[in-house]
Every structure is written in C-alpha cells, then in structure tokens.
Amino acid sequence: MAKDTIILSLNCGSSSVKYQLYNWTSQEIMAKGLVERVTFEGSVIVHEVPGREPLKLQKECPDHQVAIQMILETLLHENHPVISDVNQISGVGHRVVHGGEHFSKSTLITDEVIAAFEELSSLAPLHNPPNVLGIKAAQAIMPAVPHVAVLDTAFHQTMTKTAYIYSVPYEWYEKYGVRRYGFHGTSHLYVARRAAVMLKKDPFKVNLITCHLGNGVSLSAIKNGCSYDTSLGLTTMEGLVMGTRSGDVDPGLMPFMCAKENKTAREIEAIYLKKSGVLGISGKYTDRRDIEDAMKAGDERARLAFDIEAYRLKKYIGSYYAALGHLDAVVFTGGAGEMGPLLREAAMTGMEELGMVLDPELNKKAKSRNHEFEISARDSRVKLFVIPTDEELVFTEDVVATIEGRYDVHTKFKYGFEDQGYVNKMRDEAYQRELDKKKKG
C-alpha cells in the first residue's frame, strides 16, 4: 500500500510554535495546535483534532527543540494518537519571515539557505532567529525528511522599484539591500486567492486590498493577483499601528529621543518594536479585545489607541485604492481582522464615496476564525470580505510541490484552495460547533 503524503507545518515565534499536520493524500487536516510560553515557565500545548474536543497539556519547554518534541509526542500519544510513527511524516514546512532578495519562492532548506537566513536576522531580529532555531530543532529530530522554508517576503517580490525603493541614496540599496520587502506574504497570498474564488474571477484578474490585522499588521495592494505595494518595509516596523510596534513615524524622532532620553539608537529602536503601537498609546494593552473592553469602561487612552489605529487603516486603504486605480474587494484577515467588527466598521465608515459600503448587521455577525463572510451592502461597488487566513495550508502545498518537483513562483503555480469546490472540513466542523454553542447560549 502506498504511503500517504503527510506534511507537518511549523511556525516558530520567539516564545511559541504553531503547527499543523495535513494528510495531502486525503486532503484533510489531521491535527493543529499551538505551544505557548516556549523558553518561559508554564509552557502549554493546545492540540486540536477533527471530531475531538481540544486537548490542553502542560510541559516545560526551555527551548524550541523541546517544544517540537512535545508536538510530536502529542501527535503520537497512546491515548489520542494522530499518527503511529514519526516516520509517517513526509516533509516539514517552516515559516521564515525575511528572505531578502535571495528568495522569490519557497525553497528546500540546506546549510547555505540557513546561513542566508541568519545573515538577514538584522532585518528581522524578532522573527528570523526563532525561525532558524525551529528549523535546526526540527532537523535534529527529523533528519531524514525534506525541510522547506516558506518565505513571508516571497509573495512581495513582484513589486516594482517604484514601490520598493526608498527616497534615500540609491547606493544604500546597491550596497546594503535597503528597500521595501514586505511581510505576511503567505497570508496575503492565501486570502487573495480565496477572495478571487468568492468573486468568481480569475485570481490574476482581480485588484484587492488585503488587510492582515494582528499583533503585526500589514496591508497589501494587489494588482492583477500580484503584490503591487505593501505597508511593511525593510523591517517589520513600518506602516500601520500594531500591537507593540509604532508603524510610520518621522525619522527625525530617533535622534530627538536619543538626545532627550540619553538613549542609544538601539534602545529607541527597542521601544519602537516592543513598547509602541496600541500598547504605547494605551499604556496597558496590546490585545484589541482588551482595548475594546477598556473603551467600554470609559478608558480614554484605550479609545485614542483604537481611533488612531482605525484612522491609519483608513488612510492606507484610501492610498492603495488610488495606487490601484480600480478595486474589486477589500479583505480583512488576521486575529483582529477576523474577530474585530468594531475596527472594521471604524475603518470603513465614511468610505461610501469610494464605493465601499459596509452592511452593519453582516459585519457584526462576521466573527469567526473558521468561516468566510461577505460584509458589504448590496449596493457596495467594492466587495468587503472577512477571510480567515490559512498560512499553514500554503506551507503544505509548497512543501508537497517542492518534494514532487513541480513547484514554481506563485504567478505560475495553482493552489488547491483556488478551486470553487474547495472545502476545509475541519473549519466547517469548528464553525458548526460555534453556531451550536450560540444556539444553546
């Protein structure tokens, strides 16, 4: 009997590992989950399998190798096995945030590839180091299977120099690679292809603005199915207001604050990264749910943080609309995009003159990580969608195609989730459970 093709996807953050196990042969998610508090006390795994109640287990994970070992032990656990042997795994896909100009598509991982990612760590100090740690840890545990890197920056390699060159001395680009790179590429790719399905259009004949709203935030202007511009730049700090990151600020703020606070540029950069955004404005909160709860309780700083984030989001949507010239749809995704009707409403209010008309009732109901929604009014010329992202599925398809030798850049590659008949069974089941709970509640 032929062996099923089973792919493990790993998304390693500085203190977490998100994973998914997918049976490509049967086109089914076998399991998914998240290990939190890696390198901290109180590490915990939340493990989900279709048709079963979620499982929560605790085990200290001082490093990423222990966390990945914990994932495999959970998949093999005698009381709730998903697979019977680690050798059933055919390949592993790894998220890597920054690939610079080296990579325009996912790539088989070699020592030379890892070295390239390590060289780029100065451009993504919060992300590339844990990504590399995860790769090395998984390779140590599963040395016999192919490991494939899926790059956040790859999708944005279609941008022209007009969009990605900064107005600084051009030799900085020539010498040091200073340019806009963009991130969240797998998320923007996935929701763009799913939006084309919802529009019933060729994916390379649609113009979209995709809004990935989470702790990290980025927008992408997508022209004829390809990234045309994006808000994150050389690093993951540019653009919109984020959970702890500042987004756009006057470059003169750096030397000004260095002098005022008697701090180094690196110290101020750390504040831009970890103490700014909605946290910096509110003084307390990074999670948008906490922001909204505090607003309702009368916290004016929380209200200001919300208003500033919504205002910046509206400005970027308007500017990208102007850059594209024609717009078919705006897509909201990411944790705050999928679960934040108040933020979506605030961003869309007043955009009617541009053909974007929100249906308030549809928007309120669109609150799930497991279902796709249209939230535009019937007379809205531009469609408004909420589409839960599925970066792990992009990882899976890229890994399988790489193993089979048929993978190519996304402009020449068709994903299974582009089909009109594509169904995510696990998400359908989860959404039905959500609906059942609401009925009982």
Any idea which residues carry the catalytic annotation? 152
Cβ count near 163 (within 10 Å)? 17
Cα–Cα distances in angstroms (integers) from residue 53 to residues 50, 254, 263, in the given order? 8, 50, 50
Q: What is the phi-psi region of residue 100: left when phi exceeds 0, alpha when psi lies from -120 to 50, beta otherwise?
A: left
Per residue in 68-99, is it b (16+ CB within 10 Å) or e — as a string?
bbbbbebbeeeeeebbeeeebbbbbbbbbbbb
What is the rounded CA–CA span in Å between residue 147 and residue 139? 7
Per DSSP, the residues of 368-379 read -SS--EE-B-TT
Element of type H or E holding 211: strand 208-213
Structural Rg of the chain based on CA atoms: 21
Identity at 135, one-letter amino acid code: I
Element of type H or E holding 32: strand 28-36
What is the rounded CA–CA span in Å between residue 393 and residue 391? 5
